[in-house]
Structure 1
Amino acid sequence: MEITDDKLLRIALITSLIGIIGLIIFTPTIEVKEIQIKDINRGMIDEEVKIDCVVQDVAQSKSKSSYFLTVNDGTGQMQLIIFESQAAEIQSNNMDIKDFKDKKVEAVGKITEYNSQMEMILSSGDSLKITRK
Structure 2
Amino acid sequence: MEITDEKLLKIALVTSLIGIIGLIIFTPTIEVKEIDIKDINRGMIDEEVKIDGVIHDISQSKSKSSYFLTINDGTGQMQLIIFKTQAAELQENHLDITDFKNRKVEVVGKITEYKSQLELILSSKDSLKIIS
Structure 2 residue runs without a partner (length 5+)? none
Q: Which amino acid aligns with 1:71?
A: I
SS of residue matched to 1:119: strand
In percent, how many aligned pairs have the same letter?
80
Q: Following the alignment from structure 1 to structure 2, what is the Cα–Cα distance between the partners of residues 81 and 111?
A: 10
Give 2:41's aligned residue.
41
Q: Which amino acid aligns with 1:46?
A: D
TM-score by length of 2: 0.94
SS of residue matched to 2:17: helix
SS of residue matched to 1:78: strand
SS of residue matched to 1:95: coil
Give 1:84's aligned residue.
84
Q: Which amino acid aligns with 2:70?
A: T
- The equivalences for 1:1-133 within 5 A come to 1-132=1-132
Q: Which amino acid aligns with 1:95?
A: L
State the Cα distance separating 1:14 from its structure 2 match.
0.6
Q: Following the alignment from structure 1 to structure 2, what is the Cα–Cα distance between the partners of residues 86 and 58?
A: 15
State the Cα distance separating 1:116 from its structure 2 match.
1.8
State the Cα distance separating 1:82 from its structure 2 match.
0.5
Q: Deviations over 1:62-107 (max 9, x none)?
A: 1222100011001111100011222222122121111111110000
Q: Following the alignment from structure 1 to structure 2, what is the Cα–Cα distance between the partners of residues 89 and 12?
A: 43
TM-score by length of 1: 0.94
Q: Which amino acid aligns with 1:38?
A: K
Q: Which amino acid aligns with 1:22?
A: G
- Return structure 1 stretches of 4+ with deviation > 6 angstroms: none
Q: Deviations over 1:24-68 (max 9, x none)?
A: 111111111100111111111111100000000111111222100
| Residue correspondences, number | 132
State the Cα distance separating 1:22 from its structure 2 match.
0.7
Q: Following the alignment from structure 1 to structure 2, what is the Cα–Cα distance between the partners of residues 59 and 84?
A: 12
